[in-house]
Amino acid sequence: MCAHYEITLNDVSKIFGKKLALDKVSLKIKKGSIFGLIGPNGAGKSTLTSLLATLSLPDEGTVTISDLDVVSQVKQVRKKIGITFQEPSIFTTGTAWDNLFIAGKIYDMNISKIKEQGEYLLKEFNLNQVSNDLVGTYSGGMKRKLDIAISLLHKPEVLFLDEPTTGLDPESRNTLWQIISNISHREGTTIFVTTHYLEELNNVATDIALINNGKVLDVGTPKELINKLAADHIEIHYSRLNSSMIQKIDEYVSNMIEVINHKIKPTSLTIISSKGQQILSKLLKFLIRNEVEIEFSELKQATLNDVYLSNFTEKGDK
């Protein structure tokens, strides 16, 4: 069965003055997925999110959401989407229910639907016990939960989240993502998120796109991107070796096709490889067979942070 794509971009470009903010971007985002967009500041993340949220128009190319064109069918598209900005857009002088009723009127919902969906969301986001308290008394994490709950009030098919966990402590970030993931899986909501907390995407994202200078560099699952664009680091320390054994180890490692780079010394061996666990296992067996006295070994497996650093630290904006 073919996957249904909730969001489709074909050769989308956006120009601000003389700056090409988006350069022929093409993406297909599956329905019900949690899709992450990562890149350095000025890469095009905000511009792309703005286009998808119907807050600006593409200069070239087409964008569809739920099979609706964001230019010619903007009113219909807006009924299908919700958005949570980096800065909370809630009224702190009112209660959670005040905020929900205001949003419900904007979404043209009747009172019974607002109450029904509001009760469900307040419970899901663990805000039902404080729903009648002034939002100004909420913690940062509680305000963020309410902001996202409001964006979900009209049951959008797509939810855009711009840096949703910025400023939250690790426990609050984890809790928020658990709630968002549960709702996405249960309701089939497509989530489009930008964030600098890459370890979060590693745990929750279905697919991730890398963007820089307005161009999409690569797209894949977290595991695919890590395997393709980052590498594991291996260190093995042993008792001092003579020159003949150093040469023997060097030749063995040089013939391992999975090894990207290596450096051997009389008391240590450092290796960069795309398959760290496999290489480490082979090496330890080889060294033991050759009676090398191993002191300790260490494997540092690649993460999305390594993908980011290897693709954007040198290539991105400085």
CATH architecture of the region 231-301: 2-Layer Sandwich (3.30)
Residue 32: left if φ>0, alpha if ψ -120 to 50, beta else—which one? left
**Tens of pLDDT, residues 260-295:** 999 999 999 999 998 899 999 999 999 999 999 999
What's the rounded Cα separation, in Å, for the pair 316 and 311? 8
Q: Is 184 in contact with 164 (CB distance < 8 Å)? A: no
Stretch 79-92: mean pLDDT: 90
This prediction has a pTM of: 0.84
SS3 205: coil
Mean pLDDT for the chain? Answer: 92
Instruction: Please write the tens of the pLDDT for every residue from 34-56.
Output: 999 999 888 999 999 999 999 99
The CATH fold assigned to 5-227 is: Rossmann fold (3.40.50)
pLDDT single digits (tens) 306-317: 888 888 865 433
Q: Please give the average per-residue pLDDT across 203-230, as a whole number.
A: 92
> Which residues touch 87 (CB under 8 Å, ≥6 apart)?
none
Per domain, the residue ranges of the chain are: 5-227, 231-301
pLDDT for 3 equals 61
Beta-carbon neighbour count of residue 14 at 10 Å?
22
Q: How far apart are CA 216 and CA 219, in angstroms?
A: 8
